[in-house]
Amino acid sequence: MSEYFSNIKTSATTIATGMGITLKHFFNAVKRKGDAGIDDADYFRQVDGLCTLQYPKEAIPTPAHGRYRLYVNIDDCIGCMQCERACPVECITIETIKATSDDLAVCGKTSGGQQKRMWVPRFDIDTAKCMTCGICVSVCPTDCLYHTPVADFSEFDVKNMLYHFGNLSRIEAEAKKKKLAEQQAQAAKEKAAAGGAAKPGAPAAKPAPKPAPPVGGQAGAATGANTVSGIDF
């Protein structure tokens, strides 16, 4: 019998306690809970209150070192294709056009000082496929490919998830292709002419491609100070 009454007493007191807690929360609804993160020292000292974030209107900022949307700084891209080969889900598609020797100055250098030898008319990143594994970032020799802190980039159409980068427009790309083909045809003709006309001319012709490596070597040495893997290309 005493258990019966003690049960009733326990029920009454626990219900009163519980209702006190819910009522406290109800009246705390006029306040907003602070947005201190779990690593903040005063996380447990925040006021009680509403903790809902109305997401598209309010958001906790992503950390500055966050790795979300993939981005390529196309000005620094040398078109080496290592990222395309490294990507496990094949979300990067690159097209390159070799720059003709008279265009090298126009093609420019990377911010690290390395001479760019490729036009990159197309550098497509399919962010719908990208799983932010970061392998492409680790292989990039010029550090121009990286994940940004932009976390929300949802689209209504999956086609809009395909991000186009590139340093040439379509017309410019056609012109560069044509120019390269012409130059190559010219070179082949010259080579054929040289080969057909005189054999002794061959050793003389040979030094012609040679000057290139010293230039590359110089550039590599220059970038080597700034970038870790700039020399290997």
Q: Is residue 48 close enough to count as binding another protein by CB under 8 A?
A: yes
- Buried b or exposed e, range 147-179, using 16+ CB within 10 angstroms: beeeeeeeeeeeeebbbebbbbeeeebeebbee
Q: To the nearest whole angstrom, how small is the minimum distance from the Cβ of residue 21 to another protein?
A: 8
Burial (CB count <10 Å: 0-12, 13-18, 19+), residue 27: exposed
Bridge partner residues of 32 (DSSP):
50
Of the candidate spans 48-56, 65-73, 111-119, 211-219, the one that interacts with another protein by CB under 8 A turns out to be 48-56
Of the candidate spans 36-44, 51-59, 74-82, 142-150, the one that interacts with another protein by CB under 8 A turns out to be 51-59
At 22, list the tokens: 């819910």
What residues contact residue 221 under an 8 Å CB cut-off, 6+ apart?
A: 231
Spell out, one character per residue from 6 to 45, where the chain touches another protein: x when CB under 8 A holds, - when not: --x------x--xx-xxx-xx-xx---x------------
- 52 or 154: CB nearest another protein: 52
Q: To the nearest whole angstrom, how small is the minimum distance from the Cβ of residue 8 to another protein?
A: 7
- Cα distance between residue 86 and residue 65, in whole Å: 23
Q: To the nearest whole angstrom, how small is the minimum distance from the Cβ of residue 22 to another protein?
A: 5
- 18 or 134: CB nearest another protein: 18
Q: Is residue 202 close enough to count as binding another protein by CB under 8 A?
A: no
